[in-house]
Structure 1
């Protein structure tokens, strides 16, 4: 394709993006816009990104995508665990959280239901098969080895959280497709790209909405972030965190978020959480912290939400930030010490590892470790 043709196509696409109409627009909601959605609170001016032009910005992205990533390589091998597939397939009564990688988790609330968060099993978190952040660690549990998934919860539309290929495979799983829970606008993408137009297995939610799944309540919560799958659809779909609650247990999944007053708003509506998965990676350079939290901010969120046990995610899988892939756990250890949080209260897991919080006064791990193995190994 000639350059002039490429420019023409890009121009048409950009102009088309300007005409987008938010089909769920509600003028009474401050985070709604006629063309999409917005954050509840302003961005932190201390994390202001340097201003660059459209083409310069995308040129920078392409340079990052094409680099060998050596400056972000881990200082030591990132620990992995052999998944206990027998337990994962048999478990019907015990709360358990398994880290598959990045933001992908299998969560078993203990009521016989299997939930999968932000499933991405692709080799790259990118719209391009030959460029973009390449997976450093294979999935801790292969997609084909998962137990039957009853529901998929999606936080937002970025490629490291929303994978067309992975969702299509899950939708074809033996035993029938899962229910798909998604923020406003992402439901339309799912109907077009995953379910073939069938919306009977898709449920859309706005911030503070909740859906019932058996005795579970699934809450979509406001956090400070943004959405896009191309240069011309920014914020056309909503984003959010998730809370999954049932009598006797509650779980918080942060998705992607920058630190904001949304955390205090969530804390005011929930009486703490038994377990949380909170992002700790992609916080360098500093302007990334309007979209992702640093380990220090993640520990602050852990404290403000009154979480019993938190697991760090969004690190060690895809090189999304400019820090080394294994830097976040070390900075997490520093942040814990500075804020007086115990090592076993906020830790990192190994890819494929399962955490089993069996009681409010203790914890248990599949392999029987007395303390988080990945955290101990990375701290050495």
Structure 2
């Protein structure tokens, strides 16, 4: 059989019509907050926040709409601060990460966001031998200044990477979600291979292995694992005392796309990743979920719009594998559109309603919805929460699900976009009764 390409298998995947695109565009001056047309599901939480603020100040409601959600008195502490999103550049200073693990946190999972979708996950040793090395998995590494075929032109970082590949500790595995330039970076992969040539493995979705083998680095085929959705591999640390520690890496579904040159669109698979980590075969695992780059639901800007279906992938992951204790979820559209918009001082390039790309890139509002689905909270699906928490045979597991926002604030047009992302996320958490912290 000849593989032609891949496609998203759900009704939730929707390409906007010309009418939907037009209704979702608005021309603005640089830095001006876009005012979206229609009362979309995506914008519902903004209305709920305004309603809660009116009640808090004793003002009368302008309109009642139960479909848009409200906050009760017991939830007032969840409201965004009055100056939510009013960030200064000093509030977003870049800190050089500390990858070390002290004796006090040697049995704790450690995760470090390194900008955009790059995350280093360190899976700990046991209390019996806290000096042993963690198992380290790096997701979607990009340390280059631009996410582009060349470093001379293309989407560039607003902030520099917080570290270089040379600053990283020894990496056991790299997981790639898909082949877009902001998730699969040529220079970063070459540097990672050279710095970890003795043991690093690359774990990729179907159709991406040939890219690694074609880099001219003499990478052994066995060092690149190419997986379909629901395939899995196991990681152990060769040449190190692993004490029975194993990481199960599962290729899980996502709703997105792939391609690097235009003509290769959707020729390789895209995915999320679920990691299960255990010390012994009897112990319940610690689970982490990496969303990579994924959509959840298309939101039309028309007031008479049809409600489009939600992506069932996340409920499937929760049902099949259980709730993750730690998740990394994207909250922003990405890089290229924002790069183009950053050069648009005259407002020639329109702003887009975030719901237009919601089937391909989760909005902050949808990211919170997905977090609740993964946590097993009752809602749109009949799910049961997973109870595997606490201390398990020598290392610590969180009592509650923790979610880290990724895919924002890096390849962006400016501070205005960062402020908007953080404000939207904080507002979405408030309306959906999720604790927000930063």
State whether TM-score is above 0.5. yes
Check conservation: 1:258, 1:293, Cα contact below 8 A.
Answer: yes
2:88 aligned residue: 76
Cα distance in 2 between the residues matched to 1:71 and 1:190: 42
Structure 1 residue 198: Cα displacement: 2.8
Structure 1 residue 80: Cα displacement: 3.0
Cα distance in 2 between the residues matched to 1:289 and 1:206: 24
2:294 aligned residue: 257
1:240 matched to 2:271? The reply is yes
Cα distance in 2 between the residues matched to 1:88 and 1:170: 25
Please give the secondary structure, in 1, of the residue aligned with 2:418: coil
Deviates more, 1:138-147 or 1:117-126: 138-147
2:177 aligned residue: 155
1:314 aligned residue: 407
2:435 aligned residue: 342
Structure 1 residues 203 and 282 mapped into 2: Cα distance closer, same or farther (>3 Å)? same
Please give the secondary structure, in 1, of the residue aligned with 2:325: strand
1:199 matched to 2:221? The reply is yes
Please give the secondary structure, in 2, of the residue aligned with 1:335: helix
Structure with bigger strand share is: 1
1:38 aligned residue: 7
Please give the secondary structure, in 2, of the residue aligned with 1:193: coil
1:168 aligned residue: 190
Structure 1 residues 189 and 131 mapped into 2: Cα distance closer, same or farther (>3 Å)? same
1:268 aligned residue: 319
Which stretches in structure 1 are left out of the alignment for 5+ residues? 1-20, 23-33, 52-68, 344-371, 376-380
Deviates more, 1:307-316 or 1:277-286: 277-286
2:382 aligned residue: none
Check conservation: 2:31, 2:416, Cα contact below 8 A.
Answer: no
Match of 1:329 among 403, 407, 422: 422
Structure 1 residues 262 and 322 mapped into 2: Cα distance closer, same or farther (>3 Å)? farther
Cα distance in 1 between the residues matched to 2:144 and 2:235: 28
Which protein shows a greater Rg? 2
Aligned length: 297
Structure 1 residues 86 and 222 mapped into 2: Cα distance closer, same or farther (>3 Å)? closer
Structure 1 residue 328: Cα displacement: 1.4
Structure 1 residue 142: Cα displacement: 2.1
Structure 1 residue 84: Cα displacement: 1.8
Cα distance in 1 between the residues matched to 2:17 and 2:417: 20
Check conservation: 1:40, 1:262, Cα contact below 8 A.
Answer: no
Give a deviation string over 1:15-60, Cα, whole Å, max 9, x none: xxxxxx85xxxxxxxxxxx401111213455x61549xxxxxxxxx
Give a deviation string over 1:345-365, Cα, whole Å, max 9, x none: xxxxxxxxxxxxxxxxxxxxx
- The TM-score with structure 2 as length reference comes to 0.62
Cα distance in 1 between the residues matched to 2:333 and 2:102: 30
Structure 1 residue 71: Cα displacement: 7.3
Structure 1 residue 325: Cα displacement: 2.8
2:372 aligned residue: 303
Structure 1 residues 203 and 327 mapped into 2: Cα distance closer, same or farther (>3 Å)? same
Higher relative CO (CA 8 A, sep ≥ 6), structure 1 or 2?
Answer: 2
Cα distance in 1 between the residues matched to 2:102 and 2:250: 24
Structure 1 residues 194 and 93 mapped into 2: Cα distance closer, same or farther (>3 Å)? farther
Check conservation: 1:120, 1:163, Cα contact below 8 A.
Answer: yes
Match of 2:231 among 203, 209, 213: 209
Which stretches in structure 2 are left out of the alignment for 5+ residues? 20-29, 34-85, 126-133, 237-245, 279-284, 297-310, 335-351, 376-399
Please give the secondary structure, in 1, of the residue aligned with 2:234: strand
Check conservation: 2:113, 2:120, Cα contact below 8 A.
Answer: yes
Check conservation: 1:315, 1:326, Cα contact below 8 A.
Answer: no
Check conservation: 2:137, 2:173, Cα contact below 8 A.
Answer: yes
Structure 1 residues 321 and 291 mapped into 2: Cα distance closer, same or farther (>3 Å)? farther
Cα distance in 1 between the residues matched to 2:288 and 2:216: 27
Structure 1 residues 89 and 258 mapped into 2: Cα distance closer, same or farther (>3 Å)? farther
Structure 1 residue 94: Cα displacement: 2.6
Deviates more, 1:122-131 or 1:321-330: 321-330
- The TM-score with structure 1 as length reference comes to 0.71
1:59 aligned residue: none
Check conservation: 2:213, 2:219, Cα contact below 8 A.
Answer: yes
1:294 aligned residue: 363
